[in-house]
Amino acid sequence: MSKTVDLARQLEKLHINNMYKNDFYWTWDKTDEELAAVFAVADALRDLRERNKSTRVFDSGLGISIFRDNSTRTRFSFASACNLLGLEEQVLDEKVSQIAHGETVRETANMVSFMADVVGIRDDMFIGEGHKYQKTFMDSLEEGYRDGILEQRPTLVNLQCDVDHPTQCMADILHVIHHFGGVENLKGKKVAMTWAYSPSYGKPLSVPQGVIGLFTRFGMDVTLAHPEGYEVMPEIEEIARKNAEATGGSFRKSNSMKEAFADADIVYPKSWAPFAAMEERTKLYQQGDKAGIDALEQRLLAQNAEHKDWACTEDMMKLTRDGKALYLHCLPADITGLSCEMGEVDNSVFDRYRVPLYKQASYKPYVIAAMIFLAKVKDPVNTLMALDAADSLRKRF
Tens digits of per-residue pLDDT, 173-190? 999 999 999 999 999 999
For domain 166-361, is the CATH number 3.90.79.10? no
| CA–CA dist 317, 83 (Å, integer) | 39
332: preceding bond cis by omega (within 30 degrees): yes
Burial tier of 60 (Cβ tally within 10 Å: 0-12, 13-18, 19+): exposed
Q: Is the Cα torsion angle 357, 335, 206, 131 positive or negative in sign?
A: negative
User: Helical H runs in the chain?
Assistant: 3-12, 32-50, 73-85, 105-111, 130-146, 166-179, 206-215, 234-247, 257-261, 275-287, 290-305, 314-317, 347-352, 354-362, 364-376, 380-389
Mean pLDDT value across residues 156-181: 98
Give residue-wise pLDDT tens across range 242-278.
Answer: 999 999 999 999 999 999 999 999 999 999 999 999 9
State the pLDDT at residue 100.
56
Mean pLDDT of the chain: 95
Report whether 319 contacts 329 (CB < 8 A): no
Give residue-wise pLDDT tens across range 296-337.
Answer: 999 999 999 999 999 999 999 999 999 999 999 999 999 999
Burial tier of 358 (Cβ tally within 10 Å: 0-12, 13-18, 19+): exposed
The identity of residue 234, as a single letter, is P
60-to-54, 56, 114 alpha-carbon distances in Å = 15, 10, 12
Arch. (CATH architecture) of 3-164+364-389: 3-Layer(aba) Sandwich (3.40)
Burial tier of 22 (Cβ tally within 10 Å: 0-12, 13-18, 19+): middle
Contacts of 108 (CB under 8 A, 6+ apart): 92, 97, 98, 99, 137
Name the CA radius of gyration of the chain, rounded: 21
Nearest to 36 by CA among 170, 216, 176, 212: 170
Domain boundaries for CATH 3.40.50.1370 within the chain: 3-164+364-389, 166-361
89-to-68, 81, 396 alpha-carbon distances in Å = 16, 9, 21
State the pLDDT at residue 302.
96
Half-sphere exposure of residue 70: CA atoms within 13 angstroms, side-chain side:
3
Q: Rounded to two decimals, what is the model's pTM?
A: 0.96
